[in-house]
Structure formats: structure tokens, C-alpha cells
Amino acid sequence: MDRRRFAIRTYGCQMNVHDSEKLSAVLDGAGLSPTPDESQADLLVINTCSIRDKAEHQLYSDLGKLRQWKAERPGRLVGVGGCVAQQVGDRLLGRFPQVDFVFGTHNLRRVPALLRDAAAGRRAAWIDEDATRGRFDLPLARVEPAGGPRRRAFVTVMEGCDMFCSFCIVPSTRGREISRTARDIEAEVRALADAGVVEITLLGQTVNAYGRHDVRRGRAEDAGTMPFAELLARLDAIPGLERIRYTSPHPLFFDEALIRAHGELERLCPQVHLPVQSGSDRILEAMRRRYDRRRYLGIVEALRTARPDVAITSDLIVGFPGETEEDFEQTLDLVREAGLVDSFSFKYSARPGTAAAGLGGEVPPEVAQDRLERLQSQQREQTLAYHASRVGERARVLLDGASRRGGGQVMGRDRHNRVVNVDLTPGTTAGPGDALDVVIVGATPHSLLGRPLAAGNSPDPR
Ligand code: 5AD
Ligand code: SF4
């Protein structure tokens, strides 16, 4: 008999993308085959995001449309996982008859059982917090990306968040901080490198908080963890790897050892995505971020000293309750002073159950929109200036596939994590997974343009 086929729709952050990869491996192990084409699928899983109101609403809009998808072929099943599933739980089953099962962010391993029950007509939700490391014991994601060998991979080092920033729903959807053992992480990275992966991105909600609770209690050795910078040094020694990245660090745990690592470790990329959220001390305090702008700018300066070409990017929120024009101008100012190469910026969205949801001082939507546009337009200029400063440099580009710009261009990322489009010289071919050495010949606010240098197998330049 044909294997049943599944498709996964993924919303939200890289943790969700990676959870979908893990779920693919779990479903594969349970005898189903992946398909990118939902019209061919027997099972559709929606991996949801609830970081902002809009992301959550995406689920409800998807579910509306899925009634038709289910009606087209009897026996089709719909599962909902991720942060909205964790938050709403079995109420999703009550509200949406088209949902067959619900699983929380710690319950990927339960999906085959949920699926069996659902196929037998028993709908269920499973959202228990699993505070054990057992939940990391998942099969390695084996599914190859379409069209090329797997060269880049995510590796979870910690999950959960104990920071409780006042605006953020993550501590309630992802649970308490828990770190994997360094030995498990190292084994996974070695296995990936042996299988041809050259770039890894270490993942965690506050990735550089890795092991911190164990280290603070003096029990890191027993727990098998260590400070984040030491973990990086261990991974840096693994043969075959060319690039190590991590996301997202929290400024509070950005210690000197981590800054030093950026000056010392060969494979650690000259790129840090370091969310700041606001440039106003008053707002940072109300956000419960536990650092001030001086401290943030101090980290940036120290990083630049350790690694002069480091590309720093960030996340920013505008329109947090009580944010004045003056607070906002301090954000604009910080973006300039920190020399942010790029940033993601968002309008504040009140999330249920968070401390900020109860604060007064709402910023009118049109004011927040205006601030968002001003911030983004300043960022565009800064990004363009940074890209322009790179023209004439050499870079190595790890290719992802065809360029969005079409016209036979390919695109990939350089060590600074910038998108580089490359015009292939006529007669040459290169595809996903290949590395190309280029000279940067053009810049836009979105990407760099590269021209291939003569072919050769030079090592990834630092
Ligand atoms: N409203 C707007 N943006 C938010 N973020 C997190 N919570 C909210 C919220 N309630 C943003 C932060 C975070 C990024 C992943 O999403 O900038 O770093
Ligand atoms: Fe959310 Fe703050 Fe935790 Fe980041 S550190 S996930 S913003 S609570």
C-alpha cells in the first residue's frame, strides 16, 4: 500500500521551522511520506505562531479554508501544533470541528499516537509541559531539501525562556528554560558535518543563556552543560564545518567570553542578531529587558573591537504602551549609533496573559504605524550604506537556489548572513548547496550582487 502523505505549513520563527523538520522526521518514522504539495496530502499539520496577534489570526483564517480541503477527500486529517496550540489547547477542538488533533510545543513525539487516535475518530489535544530532556530525543531531521544536498542545518541547544519580558508570550508557549547536554549537541553536529552539512545555526529562545542555571548553581559538570562560549569552542573544532551561527542571544547573557569567542573562533561567523527592542531606558525598563542602552551599545562596541567586520542586526518594537515621541527618537538614535546592518521591526501587539497587556498608555495605531515607517525607512538607508560599503570585497556565498530576481541568477548567503545574488557566467552552472567565491559588484537595500571569481576550492574566508 502507498504510504500516506503529509504536508506541514510552518509559521513564525526558526524554532518553528526546525520543529517542523523534527516533526517530519517523526512522521517519516511513523510510516508517512512528506509532500510539498498539499493537494496530494492525507495529513496537513499547521505549525502555528502566536508572537503577535496577526500571526495567531493566520491560523483561524487557514482553518476556515481547510474545511474545503478536507471535503475534497474523505479521511483527510488536520493537526495543529506550535505556540497557538500550546496556548489554546483543546478549546481548538471545541471551536473547530475540522481540527483532528492538537499538540503542544513539547509534544512532537506524541504526534504518531495522536494521529492514530484521530484516524480512529478520537480527537484529542496533548499540551503537557515536558520538563525533561527526553523531549530532545527526536530522530535527526533526514528530509533533504528539494533540489540539492543539505548544507545548512539548525541545531537546538536550549529551549524555553525564563525572562518574562513584559510584552512576550514565549515564556508561556515554550515553557521553562532547559539546555541539552553538550555531548548530545556535539554528537548531532558531528553527524551533520559527516553527512555534508557545512553551516549550522544553534537555536534557543535565549540561546546564549545556554547552561546558565547549571553554571550558576555550580553543577554544570553533573548536568553536562557549560557556558555558551565554551560550547561554541567545542563545536568550532569539529572537522568539516565551515560556518557556525546562533540565534537569538539576549544582551543580558552576552558576556566577555562570548565577545572573545568572536575574535578567536575560526568558524564562528562575523554576524550577530542581537535583539534590543527599544533605545529608551524608560521603555526597556517597562519591557523588563534588564539592560539599558549603554550596556547594549557597550556590547556592540566590544564586539566590533573583537571582530571589526561583524554585522549586527536586531529586533525592535515600536508603540509599546507609554512610548513617547522622545522614547521613539532614542530608538532611531540607537539604531544609528549601533550601526545596525539590518533589523526586524514590529508594532507592539498586546498578548493575552503578559504583564504589558495590563498597562495603560496605549499608543494610537496611526502613531505606531508612522513610527514603524520612519524606523524602517532609516533602516533601509543604513542597510543600503552597509551594502554599498561592501562593494569591491570578496565573499564566499553558500547557495540556496534560484534568485528571486529571476533571469538565471542564483542566490545565497555570505558569512555575514547577507543575501547575495549572483549572475552566473554563461556556460557555468551552480545550484543549492554549492559555494561560490564572488566579488561584490552591486548593492541594494535588500541584497548584494556578486560576480563569480575563477572557479577554485578556496576555504571559506573569515
Ligand atoms: N508585540 C510586538 N512584537 C513582539 N515581539 C515579541 N513579542 C511581541 C509583541 N507582543 C518581537 C520582538 C522579538 C521578536 C521575535 O518579536 O522584537 O524579538
Ligand atoms: Fe520573549 Fe524576552 Fe524570552 Fe525573548 S527573552 S523569548 S523577548 S520573554
8-22, 142-156, 185-199: segment of lowest average pLDDT: 142-156
Q: Give the number of whichever ligand sits closest to the CA of residue 351.
A: 1
42-56, 179-193, 290-304, 428-442: segment of lowest average pLDDT: 428-442
CB neighbours (10 Å) of residue 15?
23
Nearest atom of ligand 2 to the alpha carbon of 250: 5
pLDDT over 90 at 403, yes or no: no
Mutate to test the pocket of ligand 1, among 168, 252, 342 (most ligand atoms within 8 A of CB): 168
pLDDT over 50 at 53, yes or no: yes
Q: Which of 275, 278, 290 is nearest to 322 (CA)?
A: 278
Question: What pLDDT, in 10s, does the model give residues 140-166?
Answer: 655 455 455 789 999 999 999 999 999
pLDDT at residue 143, rounded to an integer: 44
pLDDT at residue 460, rounded to an integer: 61
Confidence band for 461, pLDDT divided at 50, 70 and 90: low
pTM of the model: 0.95
Q: Are 180 and 158 in contact (CB under 8 A)?
A: yes
Supply 420's cell numbers.
547575495
Residues with CB under 6 A from ligand 1: 51-52, 167-168, 275, 277, 315, 317, 346, 348-349, 351
Cell 487557514 identifies what position? 62
Rounded to 5 degrees, what angle do the CA atoms 118, 122, 124 make?
80
Domains along the chain?
5-126 (3.40.50.12160), 148-389 (3.80.30.20), 394-452 (2.40.50)
Give the pLDDT mean for 325-349: 98
pLDDT at residue 406, rounded to an integer: 66
Residues with CB under 6 A from ligand 2: 161, 163-165, 168, 170-171, 205-206, 250
pLDDT over 60 at 51, yes or no: yes
Q: Average per-residue pLDDT in the chain?
A: 94
| 47 three-class SS | strand
Instruction: Give the helix ranges, DSSP H, for 211-291.
Output: 212-216, 220-223, 228-236, 256-264, 281-286
Q: Which of 168, 371, 210, 216 is nearest to 279 (CA)?
A: 371
Confidence band for 459, pLDDT divided at 50, 70 and 90: low
Percentage of the chain beyond pLDDT 90 is: 87
Nearest atom of ligand 2 to the alpha carbon of 168: 1
pLDDT at residue 141, rounded to an integer: 58
